Structure 1
Amino acid sequence: MKKWFIFLLVAASAQSLFAQDSASSNHIVIDSVKAKWGKVKNVNGTAMISSNNIIENIELSKEYSLLVTAIEDAGLTETFRSKGPITFFAPTNQAFEKLPAGELDTLLKPNHKLDLNYLITSHAIAGKFSVKDIQHKINANNGQATFRTIAGSTLTAKIDSNRNIVLIDDNGGESIISKFDILQSNGMLHIINAVLVPKTKNI
């Protein structure tokens, strides 16, 4: 009887040690995956990875197919692949569809490449700004903060009554940051629900 008891005790201990070792191995695998890929954030059903650059991440989702096309046609793909850092306010396809009928089609024509370049770069600012950074700047400037885009246009940020951060373009058009703090290898990505339109520039 004692032999059976000792045998069961040894077997239970071995099983416990195996379970602990297995759990430890799982943690090692998970930690190594995190170390390799960085932080992963779900954006409208797409897993965006912080070790990817801006282009690599927006190419993962059909939600940004119009934006990817616009960036390519504007000759800006390498700009958004660069080391940066760049903070990019990315319009969804639905945001582009809010533009007046035919406007995007016109901008995508080869003879409007510079205009398209100006529009897209009016959504980007140099540096890496989280929502907390933007909020801090808004609070430090009596409820409004102004940012200079890499196009040379300006964006004004404020917080509305629903605690959303609203971006205002040169023409007074407003866009809400709907998804935020999506870390990129070359900066920060925020998703917006309307295209920011700068004042017409004579190029």
Structure 2
Amino acid sequence: MKKWMGVIILGLHCAFVFSQTTIITNPVNDTVKSKWGKVKIVDGTKMTSSNDIIENITQSQEYTTLVTVIEDAGLTQTFKSKGPITVFAPTNKAFEKLPAGQLDTLIKPNHKYDLSYLITYHAIAGRVTAHDIEKKINTNNGEATFTTLAGTKLTAKIDENRNIVLIDENGGQSIISKFDIQQSNGILHIVTSVLVPKPKAI
């Protein structure tokens, strides 16, 4: 009886060791983690940190206008590039706030330069988190200035509700409503209004 008990215990011990080894060395779990990265739900759409900016925003119905204007401006590859870049992404509702007919004019082929200028005004070089923006505001007497990819200036402040507010060159304001959405090539912040730079002298 003792002999059989010893065999059973030995068998159970081997099975336990084998199962532990299988779990530890399972390459499938590691591949899934590496491939998909961190997932964040943005306006009902899953955005994955292993995707680039274009791959993520094209999955959402809230950014169809942004995707269209990026394509029309010939900037798709810019926002798919290695970067890193930080993008302040207007929603469809943000674009609807523009004066009537302005967007229709901008997407015409002869206004491609103006459209590109507008879109690159919504991006800055590097990975700039909301904490980075707030820190710069606090260390610069309540106001921070950033140089956009358009070569123009964008100002950031914190309002009475503790929102980070972006102020364009015309005094227009846009609140960062969602922030720090990690992308493989940068960071995405969602804004409530389109930022408009002053006309560029040619």
Report the TM range for the smaller structure's normalisation: 0.7 to 0.9
1:61 corresponds in structure 2 to 60
Residue identity matched to 1:70: V
Between the two proteins, the alignment pairs up a number of residues equal to 202
- Residue 182 of structure 1 corresponds to which residue in structure 2? 181
- 1:83-122 CA-to-partner distances (Å, cap 9, x unmatched) read 1110000000000000000100000000100000000000
- In 2, the alpha carbon distance for the partners of 1:42 and 1:34 equals 17
Structure 2 residue matching 1:138: 3-state secondary structure: helix
Q: Which amino acid aligns with 1:198?
A: P
* Cα 1:23/1:44, change in 2 over 3 Å: farther
Give SS of 1:158's match: strand
Identity of aligned pairs, percent?
70
Tell me the CA shift for residue 36 of structure 1.
1.4
- After superposition, give the CA deviation of every residue in 1:12-48 in whole Å (9 maximum; x if it has no partner): xxxx99x99999899x755542221111111011000
The aligned counterpart of 1:157 is 156
Structure 1 gaps, min length 5: 1-15
Change in 2 beyond 3 A, CA 1:101/1:22? farther
Tell me how far apart the structure 1 counterparts of residues 193 and 20 of structure 2 sit (CA, whole Å).
51
Residue 139 of structure 2: aligned partner: 140
Mapping for residues 74-153 of structure 1, pairs under 5 Å:
74-153=73-152
Where structure 2 has 5 or more consecutive residues not aligned to the other structure, the ranges are 1-15
1:33 alignment partner in structure 2: 32
Q: Where does 1:8-47 land on structure 2 (aligned, <5 Å)? A: 32-47=31-46
1:199 correspondence with 2:198: yes
The residue matched to 1:79 in structure 2 has which SS?
Answer: helix
Please name the residue that 1:13 is paired with: none
Structure 1 runs (4+) greater than 4 angstroms displaced:
19-26, 28-31
Task: State the distance in 2 between where 1:81 and 1:202 align.
Answer: 28
Structure 1 44/23 Cα, relative in aligned 2: closer, same or farther at 3 Å?
Answer: farther
Give the root-mean-square deviation of aligned CA atoms.
2.4
Given the two structures, how large is their TM-score scaled by the length of structure 1? 0.86
Q: SS at the partner of 1:152? A: coil
Residue aligning to 1:8: none
Amino acid in structure 1 at the alignment position of 2:63 = Y
User: Residue 102 of structure 1 aligns to which amino acid in structure 2?
Assistant: G
